[in-house]
Amino acid sequence: MNIPITYHYPLWDFDERTRPRIMQEFAANGAKHLIVGEGLFRVIMQDSTLAKKLMQEMAQAGLSFVDGHAPFGKFLDMSCPDESLRRTMINRHKLALNIAASMGVKTLTIHCGVDFHTPDVPFEVHIARIKEALAELLIEAEKCGVIIAIENGWYPLGQSVVLLDIKKDFPTDYLGFCYDSGHANLLDRNHVPPENRTEKDWLSVTKKNEVKWENDGLEKMLPHVVSCHLHDNDGSCDQHKRIGSGNIDWKHIKNLLMQAPRLQCIQSEVQIYMANASIRDLVADMNYFCKL
């Protein structure tokens, strides 16, 4: 595969003595690229010298950064419901875009928002706020040469039809999608009936009957997919398990991704703590995926 394979790893949890060893272990197992995760952006925003240190450590290990994930949360996502905090949210994402550019990152995943955090806010207000934020952020993205990737979710605001509606208003190549396999899998009602879901967010959404089940989210998103988060689950909640340890049809996913005309990278977003996975496991899983 000629598409870069990248790995999510919580580098922000480790100090400058441990980080190089982690990077060297990735390299020893055949990895070439890591992501600048949301935690790294948070600490770089607090210490502007850290980005240069990280780049030096990565270079010494023979690695590079390719993609990134901006900080996220109720008041950090583009649907931020507090008007007094929206300017701060936009400025933080602008800063993240500039940090990404300085570190060689080509795509930055930014969350639209999670509507079940604010059930009192009308859906159309969420959409208007997201589009308002994107109109400003895309100007900065173009200046930085970084593509903004908005991510699918298992909640109404993150479904493929909503992302496609947003994209219609922004035909620029600096806006694309990040396909998340685990999130998409939660929308397959054939895996686990709604009443048996364990995800608390799922329960709050399904009680309002707002979920639109879909098994073809990737097919719909494919023309605009620039990055992806690959991880597995059993359909009950967002488990971030190792590839092949849940019920996702990985051969189908790979065949589709290989047809994505804008795809920039393929990322393992397995969470090491949740999956009890080693660096060797992460790389082995992606080797397995590539050979399907």
Q: Given this model, what pLDDT does residue 189 score? A: 72
Q: What are the average pLDDT values for consecutive 10-residue runs of the chain, which has 292 residues?
A: 94 96 98 98 96 98 98 96 97 98 98 87 94 98 98 91 97 98 87 64 58 88 98 90 95 97 98 96 97 95
Report DSSP letters for 236-286, one per residue: SS---BPTTSSS--HHHHHHHHTT-TT---EEE---HHHHT--HHHHHHHH
Q: In this predicted structure, what is the pLDDT of residue 200?
A: 61
- The pLDDT score that the predictor gives to residue 125 is 95
User: Cβ(13)–Cβ(39) under 8 Å?
Assistant: yes
- Domains identified in the chain and CATH numbers: 5-291 (3.20.20.150)
- In this prediction, residue 124 carries a pLDDT of 94
3-state secondary structure of 100: helix
